[in-house]
Structure formats: structure tokens, C-alpha cells
Amino acid sequence: MFSFQVFDHQISRAFQNRFSTQYRCYSVSMLEGPNDRSDVEKGGKIIMPPSALDHLSRLNITYPMLFKLTNKNSDRMTHCGVLEFVADEGICYLPHWMMQNLLLEEGGLVQVESVNLMVATYSKFQPQSPDFLDITNPKAVLENALRNFACLTTGDVIAINYNEKIYELRVMETKPDKAVSIIECDMNVDFDAPLGYKEPERQPQHQEEPTEGEDASSYADMDTGFRAFTGSGNRLDGKTKGIEPSPAPLGPSDIKRGIPNYDFKIGRITFIRNSRPQPKKFVDDDDAVNKFIAFSGEGQSLRKKGRKP
């Protein structure tokens, strides 16, 4: 009998250390005051009344404070942290995306309970729009946005704000539990394919080589770009006679087609100086005899008389 009394005493003590109450919830835009609280929409924390802080301070709860929000009418639940205790009594303010997950309307009742969550080690997200792929470094953007969150719940659709645009991501998986704390944790993040994303179809490129008997007139009909002296002109007397352009037709010899480099290797650049090899010059024997030799000429003098041999 004594053991049962101890057991009952432990259960009652555990319930005394648990915070559980109901509030009417409203979105942050309904919060009265001169200060703009748009920062609450960018995270996963709520605003509670001061009486909740007084009640929590008397309980032996663990920090940071984490709460479980439950909508009993729709049987939907999520987890969150608390940002401030400045709401009116009996009211709490939630981010708009959190109210959508709980299927709550303005003034609906929500059950708030204190919980202890395990630290996250892995999470997987699925963007709800292919526009998320336009972000250069999505992991860095998500890491910066999750600093305003306290915990994650599998199945929730969170909203992050980046470059004045809201991106929604569904939490597909969390480890080691379905609800985890992400405060001061080392968490691996992975992404699933965005909702509605389709892989681009790659069409194989077939290069058709021209046959020998292919008619060159088909190339003459192609647009070859700029052609000199093919424009129209204007006369000073205002007449239009003789100013119509009359471009000369292109002949098969005027069409220059490139020769592909069949020895091309990926990652190698070849600078072709001259495609035609220069002919080798053969030096004749007479040219070798008459080759220039420095300081081998004969000198002349203006005064030849009296010159000593």
C-alpha cells in the first residue's frame, strides 16, 4: 500500500510540473500596439500573456520553453517556442502559417501544453513551389530562416521570407523523432523535389553529315547574315526609280562551310595559326655560295697615291 501511495504522489507531482491551458488565438496582425511585430511571422514562436510566465516560473520545467499546440476540433497539432509574454489575458498570437496548419480561425480555441523535445539531427524539406529553385544557395537561406524557429514538426508547412517573397516548405521528415528541437543543434538538411517540378527532357542531338550529291541551292536560300551593298538608297530628286535593292544571287562557291575538327578533345583549346602547311624552301648550291658573310667585303679609298702596300 505504501508503494502505491508513492507512485500516486509521483504522478501528481508530474502533472503539477506540466503547463496546460487554453487560449483564444489570433494572428499577429491583430496584435495591438505601436510596434510592428512582423518578425513573428518570419519564425515559429508565439506571444503569450504575462500570466503564463508567472505560472511557468513556479513550475520545474526545462528551458528553453517549448509548447505543443493542439486544435481539438480538427485533431491537428504542432510545436512552437515562445517569443514574449505581452499578450492580453486569455489570448495568444500565432504566425499565420501556424494557424493554417492547425486549421484555426481568428478567435479559435487552442490547447497549449509544455513539452520536452529531443534535439534534431536530420530534417528533410519539400518546397511547395518550383520558384524555390531560383535561390542561389537554398541551404544557407533556410539555415538563416530557421534561426527564428524553436522546433520542427513532421507534416507542418512552414513559411520563410527571402527577398520580400514568401516560400513555403513542408517538413517531410525529422530525426530522431517526429517533433524535434532545433535550438543549438547540429542538423543535417536535405531537400526533396519541389511540388509540381518536372525534369527537363533532354533531346539527343543528331548531327547529319551532308551527302556528296546534296544541292547547294538549299544553302543559298538560308540567311547568311550581313551582305554588303544590298540595301536600298534614296535619290535627291525624290524619285524612286532605280533605288530598289538588287542583291546578286549567291553561288555555291560563295557559301563557305567549316570543316569540323575530328581530333577535338574536351578541355583542350587548339589555336590554328594557318590551316595550310607552308611549302618547304630548298636552298640551291649557288645560293649557299653567295650567302652573306659579315665583314668579308673589299674596301675603297679616295687617296690611292702614296698608299703603302
List, for residues 83-104, the tens digit of each pLDDT value.
989 888 999 999 989 999 999 9
* Residue 127 and residue 110 share a domain: no
**Any idea which residue has 501528481 for its cell?**
12
Measured CA to CA, the distance from residue 127 to residue 194 in angstroms comes to: 5
Residue 155, CB-side half-sphere exposure with 13 Å CA sphere: 10
**Residue partners of 213: CB distance under 8 A and separation at least 6:** none
* Residue 155 and residue 179 share a domain: yes
Single-letter amino acid code for the residue at 98:
M
What per-residue confidence (pLDDT) applies to 12?
Answer: 43
For residue 210, what is the DSSP state? P
Contact 44, 111 (CB under 8 A): no
What is the domain extent for residue 46? 20-115
What per-residue confidence (pLDDT) applies to 6?
Answer: 40
* Residue 148 and residue 180 share a domain: yes
* Residue 108 and residue 49 share a domain: yes
Single-letter amino acid code for the residue at 300:
Q
Whole-model pTM: value is 0.58
Residue ending a domain, among 191, 225, 252, is: 191
Measured CA to CA, the distance from residue 291 to residue 62 in angstroms comes to: 102
Segments of the chain with pLDDT less than 70: 1-17, 32-36, 205-229, 231, 242-258, 272-290, 304-309
Cα-flanking dihedrals φ and ψ of residue 212, to 5°?
A: -70, -35
Number of domains in the chain: 2
Measured CA to CA, the distance from residue 158 to residue 127 in angstroms comes to: 10
Residue 6 located in a structural domain:
no
CATH of the domain at 160: 3.10.330.10
| Residue positions counted in the chain | 309
Return contacts of 11-19, CB within 8 angstroms, 24+ apart.
16/59, 17/59, 17/60, 17/61, 18/59, 18/113, 18/114, 19/52, 19/55, 19/56, 19/59, 19/61, 19/67, 19/112, 19/113, 19/114
Measured CA to CA, the distance from residue 47 to residue 31 in angstroms comes to: 10
Residue 251 located in a structural domain:
no
Residue 268 located in a structural domain:
no
Kindly report, residue by residue over 170-198, the tens digit of the pLDDT: 999 999 999 999 998 899 999 998 888 88
Residue ending a domain, among 191, 221, 249, is: 191
Residue 272 located in a structural domain:
no
* Residue 80 and residue 24 share a domain: yes
20-27/108-115 β-pairing: antiparallel
Measured CA to CA, the distance from residue 104 to residue 76 in angstroms comes to: 9
What per-residue confidence (pLDDT) applies to 9?
Answer: 44
